Amino acid sequence: MLELLTRLVLLAGCIGTARCEATGSPLPPVGHFYVKNERGDKCLLLDISATFHVEYLKTDNTTDTVSYPLPNNSYVTGICAHGFHEQTAVMNISFHDTSPHMGHFGMNLTFSRNFPLMTHFWLSEVSIYYQLIPALFPDALDLNKTLISTVSGIQAIKTSSNAVAPHSYLCKREQELFRSHANDFNVPLSANLTVYNIQAQPFEVNDQGTFSLPEECAQDYQPTTNPPPPTTTPFHDVTPSLVFPVGYFSLNDSRGQVCLLANMGVLFRVEYRTDNGKSRNATYVLPANCSVGGSCGDDQATLTLMFTDTFNLSLSFYSDGKRFILNSLVVGYQRNARFFPGADDPNTSDIQVANDLSLFDTQLGKSYRCSSQRNFTVGQSVVLEILELHVQPFGVKDGQFSDAVRCPQDLLTTIYPVLNATTTLPATTVQTTGVTDTIAPASTILPSSTPYTPTTPPHKPSKPLQGHYFVKNSTGQICLLANMGVQFIVKYVRQDSNVGEGVFNVPVTAAASGACTDSMSSLTLKFYGDTFYVTFTFSQSSEKRGGRYRLASAELSYTELPVIFPKTIAPNQHRRVENMTLNVFSTDVSKSYKCLPDVNVTVTKEVTMLVRQVQLQPFHVDKSGKFFTAEDCAQTSSESIILIVMLASTLPATALIIAMISCICWRRRSRGTAADLEKEPLIKNFIE
């Protein structure tokens, strides 16, 4: 009976095709399926010959497996990707109406592509559904029940394809496309799909509704007795490197000579938290026509690539006179809505730094080259994917790369060209003056991706969050406590000669260190990969009525990173400022200082510090490691205000008294008597 049903199903699938045969075990016919958009144009294409293999549970608690083909006259529905921002397409194939003996059968196929690059597509999810009809599933435990078996998170039939050079996937060899398990049973019941022939194109279908040039699977080129004819499409790697836009950049010295060359394609993956508390990855590429800044020196060189005013990548190189290395990577970005949708802290800026690196070790006088894709972790949240890298930060002659030292990855694998590697583009050039950083827009580069230009100025970061910091003495006991949020507002010179303001917060994750003595204590907070730090120094004085302490000095060391200082005239220039004569946060030594409102402290004429939600105790912390009773700045402020009001209210009366006394003195003086003159000191003492 089962064999008869199988033949009936095969016969149902053979309607309208000449490929089926009445004898033997023929392969299922190829079905030609497609989805149309609202304009009636084909937007998703699939040719497939396949068989389902479904395991089911019988009434005697044993299992059996049923196989049935995918009919070529199945019914198709689906959803196409209608725009550049949509990254999935779905096709539903159902065939419960192809035979009166069939129940509910079908499958859903979800195709995905990598956003925002759109350089690859793949089959990311498959769901098959089937009904346990008695004719096909004899002695099934749950007769006529419909089950669903789903597998997700896969990357089957992965194919390189984009809007410029679209491809379809083609494979004419038998393969098991996926294996999953039904979700309604405690025991694992497997279901899988065997494909004998498949061609798929879920995106970028042409106006004629036909498949684009196929990218064939590796199995098609395995040795056989009948090798493919010479006209077959050349072999493509199944998982080639991602296609990034490759930029060509250079720096000139003060004489106008090229002093640094760099070619590269870069993809950024930045982890961030959404407003619903989940983690997501923002993905964007380095435009080939981004702005360039940097500096050239004998032992240090820096290349800074900037785009959209708030995104940048900086590479710093060091040479010992014999070799050079990449010793630092800095990534700056802003959590805007375009790249960071739903961020829980929108429009805030951040910097991730990787220091003390020893990458790209190369003999001086040569260049470093690595066409293979390599990944680099920067800070806690950024991963860089770099390919087609060619760099020479020292010893450039005649504006050309010297002989290249290849990375080990290139020597182990076959290199496939990226999309635009066949065309030589003019280099983006900016002139430097000695070792002074300069910047200029990239005006001569042919863009391979249009940069995003914001219509509004960069958003300043929100008010700083309160961090909890402490310092321990040599015995391991806490000797300084500080809870506070700190923000710096720094004036700088822009490329247009105007003055801008760079604003940055001290992260709550800043590394705290310091020292404690009887009369002095200090707290140093380092952040952004130790490229920024601020040191607060507190002093304690002894008086007859009891000692007091105060914040006596503040020192800030920072770098003019373009993500914080947009369009700065000196990108990556290191700065240091300090004020050694501060007298703020003064408090009795037996108490802690507390001030919840915002407090603005002028460090220098260019630098202002905003401190909020402050509680400090830089001396005499007991073994409990907790703050003493707080002296609240709000109470002090109120007392000051009350004092000012009292003085103001008594001022008219005081003036009247002084005027009357002055009049009396004048009259008595006019009499010129000795007695009057003797009384004057008494009046004078009264006034005083």
Left (φ > 0), alpha (ψ -120 to 50) or beta: where does 529 sit?
left
* pLDDT bucket at 403, cuts 50 / 70 / 90: very high
- Taking the alpha carbons at both ends of the chain, their separation in whole angstroms is 123
Tell me the per-residue pLDDT of 289-322, one tens digit each, with 9 for 90 and over: 888 888 888 888 889 898 876 788 999 999 999 9
User: Cα separation of 264 and 313, whole Å?
Assistant: 12
* pLDDT bucket at 15, cuts 50 / 70 / 90: very low
Residue with tokens 């009247």: 656
* pLDDT bucket at 545, cuts 50 / 70 / 90: low
Tell me the per-residue pLDDT of 27-57, one tens digit each, with 9 for 90 and over: 888 999 999 988 899 999 999 999 998 888 8
Of residues 79 and 675, more confidently modeled: 79
Give me the DSSP letters along 119-135: -EEEEEEEEEEEE--TT
408 φ, ψ (degrees, to nearest 5): -60, -35
Contact 312, 304 (CB under 8 A): yes
Tokens of 554: 């503040």
Give the residue-averaged pLDDT of 231-250: 52
Mean pLDDT value across the chain: 76
The whole-number pLDDT of residue 553 equals: 93
Give the residue-averaged pLDDT of 76-83: 86
Give the residue-averaged pLDDT of 537-566: 84
| Whole-number Cα distances in Å, 60 to 142, 184, 187, 189, 272 | 12, 18, 14, 15, 52
The whole-number pLDDT of residue 292 equals: 86
Neighbours of 655 (CB within 10 A): 10
The whole-number pLDDT of residue 562 equals: 77
668 φ, ψ (degrees, to nearest 5): -70, -35
Which pTM does this prediction carry?
A: 0.45
Percentage of the chain surpassing pLDDT 70? 73
Give the residue-averaged pLDDT of 142-160: 85
The whole-number pLDDT of residue 524 equals: 95
Tell me the per-residue pLDDT of 584-635, one tens digit each, with 9 for 90 and over: 999 988 899 999 999 999 999 999 999 999 999 999 898 888 999 999 886 4
